[in-house]
Chains A and B, each alone.
Chain A
């Protein structure tokens, strides 16, 4: 009888305060864990975006470096947003940014013959593709993309043309 009344008496204010403190400490630990997990998730996402950009950059470099003639842009210190060139198989290709923010590579000959390889998406969520051609055999470019959280990533690279000696400068 005595035991039962003791177990039914509830908690004192001091006990409630102590429970609250314990709860707060646990919440603190949990919040800390979520904070670091969130940071880790953001970093992972950015790694993915930058790797996509790097792959795009490798693709641009591979295609351009063996091109035998650049039709656009001309040699100048201005900035442009497309590259029109002929590759080592003498096909007409163009790198351009479309209205859906995709950086594309269009192979005109393949596209004309309905080959699915005629239009390849190099990068998604691209907001800028800028090209400079300071010399006949050098193309400098950068690609800027924006991720789902509106964070921007930029990759800047350059391509030394290996096969343009016979046709350039024009």
Chain B
């Protein structure tokens, strides 16, 4: 059973003391990293009519914000649990960190791999090298889009679909459940959020239409930069 009282006591008493102790490795220093909600690179209504302003505002200012807030809280509690030597609490917080940290990473990547439909970024010509690699792997861009779309529609429950580049520079389509992020050697090129909150207010149960329309707002320029490894966009 997790003892939150011990953790809170530790936070209240031990952490401030340690802050003045000058130790190189201490809980307070580890807790300094605070994550914040990144600003959207476009207005809430910029992806209309494909994604409504109402969805974008809730998705960014409420859902993404909740992941950020819960991530920061969980990181603080985790550091406290490390300091208190409470392994059960550490493990419990790791699940919360994975979910909310994943939510923060995934949404941060998602916003940047979308762009207004009429912009230059949403034309596949903005991703010459990536599109060539896609054509080599799937035969044509349309074949890839079909494969990606049916993968998205096959997700059971909440999750994400990703185009990733693996360590041998090969491209693959993968899905991650809930808010699991793409980690390890795979580089996320672009992701599509298949949680119901990403489309329900506009598309209701018609998620196939959402998937069809998302192609109008994919930011191929960002995708190319991530593919070539020149983008800061995969860093938070």
Query: Are A and B bound to each other?
Result: no
Where the two chains meet, the residues of A that have a C-beta atom closer than 8 Å to any C-beta of B are none
